[in-house]
């Protein structure tokens, strides 16, 4: 275990690639480089609000006990071995090429070596402007920082690949934000999150180099990325093999999102990790009522491009953009052939996952109609997704009638079922019970499979909103309670949170819909 200030950080990205090392933070285009060196802008009163001890243990980082250590987390102190930088990348945003983007409010401090060959990047979010901040201030508000800190850790404990969050620091300074871009700007408390991951490289890092015809930089980045993060990949076709693995990891990530009902909200290609991690937590949400068309992002209306049910297809579209960036290196036919494997990979993984959610011993072609019937029924009656699956675990092995079916799931229903909906639910459950009777595993083993695949606790938006409101008023009780609950999402240890979204939260700002500013 080492402290943040005594550690000697590595800076391989900075020393390997061309960068703009002027230190100029003026927003501008930076052609020919992969990053710009930056310095965090000090704040008046950095104070540690939250610390992920489990992640710290994994990385070998001692909890800060001095103000100077906390200053590192707030951007007020940079150690001698750190070489902070903001990465340059581009991306497709809402389906359109956006050109150069880059780290506008994030900066990587350095690379923390855990063991030989195991290195994580430590990155501040909200520590001030960079050359890629465009017209923004590079700061983050407490609201968005709490959401990123808690959800990064919640997704980890749910078993979803994700970047992590090590700390949350308040700055003692107000930040001006227009939460819904409607002209109602207001000052909010500022904060800084220190997030960590083996790499924050995105599809957009490669896209921009191709778009700007920086072919040498593109080849260098590909070679370095494969050697560093995919050392098992070698040979003349290593870039194509790497692309196939990125496809597989992305398909795995999409299945994980669909399993727990997570909606990212802004699946731009600059928010897609080449490691298959969930990255950049903004206007995200878990599903409350099961709605394939649900998007939590006001900026995504009215088209709902990034709605829950569209996420897997959007991931494939984004992979197509990454394929386009690789055209100077790989032939078009080989890329298209690789890209076409996504659907098979996704659906194979998806049906296997659904088999676990339903407690099936195995999933064969004969089970797919049942899974589709389940999805169609849920989309029709719109129960609370999390509660529905929990009640399904305890479903009696026989149901007397339609009323008994509705009664069993009453705690998951936001509205009383219409007669045809009641019939539809009963028919589904009758078919499901018939399939369970064919299982080659015992009932309790089937239920155990379901408990491992279906979370009982999810970090709902309304809970986050309540915790943020309390923090802004000086109370930390709910925030601390959520920190504990998110570490144990598959148990019954936090039953106070096992309830459907309350009626008041369905329309309240910050509880249902958010913006990219969130």
Give me the catalytic one of 20, 270, 289, 300: 270
Question: Which two structure tokens, joined as six digits, stand for 74?
Answer: 């707030």
Q: What is the pTM of this model?
A: 0.96
pLDDT (mean) for 343-359 = 98
Active site residue 270: yes
pLDDT (mean) for 36-47 = 97
pLDDT (mean) for 260-269 = 98
Q: 10 Å Cβ neighbour count for 438?
A: 10
Average pLDDT of the chain is: 96
Domain ranges (residues) in the chain: 12-200, 237-352, 362-438
pLDDT, one tens digit per residue, over 148-184 is 999 999 999 999 999 999 999 999 999 988 876 677 7
**Gap between the Cα atoms of 206 and 208, Å rounded:** 6
**Gap between the Cα atoms of 196 and 4, Å rounded:** 13
CB 122 within 8 A of CB 166: yes
Per-residue confidence at 18, pLDDT binned at 50, 70, 90?
very high
pLDDT, one tens digit per residue, over 89-137 is 999 999 999 999 999 999 999 999 998 789 999 999 999 999 999 989 9
- Residue 141 has phi, psi (to 5 degrees) of -90, 160
Radius of gyration of the chain (CA): 24
pLDDT, one tens digit per residue, over 388-416 is 999 999 999 999 999 999 999 999 999 99
pLDDT, position 517: 56
CB 279 within 8 A of CB 257: no
* pLDDT of 1 higher than 90: yes
Q: 10 Å Cβ neighbour count for 113?
A: 17
pLDDT, one tens digit per residue, over 283-340 is 999 999 999 999 999 999 999 999 999 999 999 999 999 999 999 999 999 999 999 9
pLDDT, position 510: 76
pLDDT (mean) for 225-248 = 97
Q: Residue 251, SS3?
A: helix
Q: What is the 3-state secondary structure (H, E, C) of 329-365?
A: CCCHHHHHHHHCHHHHHHHHHHHHHHHHHHCCCCCCH
For residue 459, what are the contacts with CB-CB under 8 A and spacing of at least 6? 150, 151, 154, 286, 482, 486
Q: What is the 3-state secondary structure (H, E, C) of 439-472?
A: CCCCHHHHHHHHHHHCCCCCCCHHHHHHHHHHHH
Question: Which two structure tokens, joined as six digits, stand for 239?
Answer: 């870039």
Angle between helices 311-325 and 203-211 (to 10 degrees): 40
pLDDT, position 180: 67
* pLDDT of 273 higher than 80: yes
Q: Which residues of 294-311 are buried (b: 16+ CB within 10 A; e: fewer)?
A: bbbbbbbeeeebbbbbbb
pLDDT, position 518: 47
CB 84 within 8 A of CB 38: yes
Residue given tokens 């106070």 in the structure block: 496
pLDDT (mean) for 143-151 = 97
Omega of the bond prior to 302 within 30 degrees of 0, cis?
Answer: yes
């Amino acid at each position: 275990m080492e402290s943040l200030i005594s550690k000697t950080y590595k800076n391989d990205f900075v020393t390997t690639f061309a960068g703009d090392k002027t230190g100029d933070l003026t927003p501008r285009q930076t052609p020919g480089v992969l990053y710009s060196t930056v310095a965090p802008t000090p704040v008046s009163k950095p104070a540690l609000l939250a610390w992920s001890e489990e992640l710290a243990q994994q990385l070998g980082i001692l909890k800060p006990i001095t103000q100077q250590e906390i200053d590192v987390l707030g951007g007020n102190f940079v150690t001698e071995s750190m070489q902070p930088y903001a990465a340059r990348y581009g991306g497709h945003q809402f389906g359109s090429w956006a050109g150069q983007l880059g780290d506008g409010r994030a900066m990587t401090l350095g690379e923390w070596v855990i063991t030989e060959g195991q290195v994580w990047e430590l990155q501040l979010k909200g520590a001030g402007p960079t050359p890629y901040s465009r017209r923004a201030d590079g700061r983050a508000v407490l609201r968005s920082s709490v959401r990123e800190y808690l959800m990064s850790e919640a997704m980890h404990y749910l078993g979803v690949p994700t970047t992590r969050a090590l700390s949350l620091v308040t700055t003692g300074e107000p930040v001006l934000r227009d939460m819904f871009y409607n002209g109602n700007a207001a000052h909010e408390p500022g904060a800084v999150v220190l997030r960590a991951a083996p790499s924050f490289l995105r599809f957009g890092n490669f896209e921009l180099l191709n778009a700007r015809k920086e072919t040498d930089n593109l080849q260098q980045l590909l070679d370095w990325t494969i050697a560093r993060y995919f050392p098992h990949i070698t040979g003349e076709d290593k870039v194509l093999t790497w692309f196939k693995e990125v496809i597989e990891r992305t398909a795995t990530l999409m299945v994980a999102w669909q399993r727990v009902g997570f909606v990212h909200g802004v699946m731009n290609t600059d928010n897609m990790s080449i490691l298959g991690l969930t990255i950049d937590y903004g206007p995200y949400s878990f599903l409350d009522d099961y709605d394939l068309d649900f998007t939590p992002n006001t900026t995504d209306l009215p088209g709902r491009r990034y709605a829950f049910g569209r996420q897997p297809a959007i991931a494939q579209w984004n992979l197509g953009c990454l394929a386009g960036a690789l055209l100077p290196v790989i032939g078009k036919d080989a890329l298209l052939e690789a890209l076409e494997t996504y659907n098979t990979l996704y659906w194979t993984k998806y049906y296997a996952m659904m088999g676990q959610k339903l407690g099936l011993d195995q999933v064969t072609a004969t089970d797919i109609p049942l899974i589709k019937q389940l999805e169609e029924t849920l989309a029709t009656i719109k129960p609370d997704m999390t509660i529905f699956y929990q009640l399904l675990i305890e479903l009696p092995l026989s149901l007397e009638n339609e009323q008994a079916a509705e009664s069993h799931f009453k705690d998951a229903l936001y509205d009383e079922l219409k007669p045809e909906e009641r019939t539809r639910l009963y028919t589904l459950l009758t078919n499901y019970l018939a399939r369970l009777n064919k299982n080659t595993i015992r009932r309790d083993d089937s239920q155990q499979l379901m408990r491992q695949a279906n979370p009982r606790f999810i970090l709902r938006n309304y809970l986050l909103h309540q915790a943020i409101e309390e923090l802004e008023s000086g109370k930390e009780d709910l925030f601390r309670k959520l920190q504990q609950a998110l570490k144990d999402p598959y148990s019954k240890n936090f039953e106070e949170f096992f309830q459907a979204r309350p009626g008041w939260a369905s329309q309240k700002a910050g509880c249902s819909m958010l913006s990219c500013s969130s």
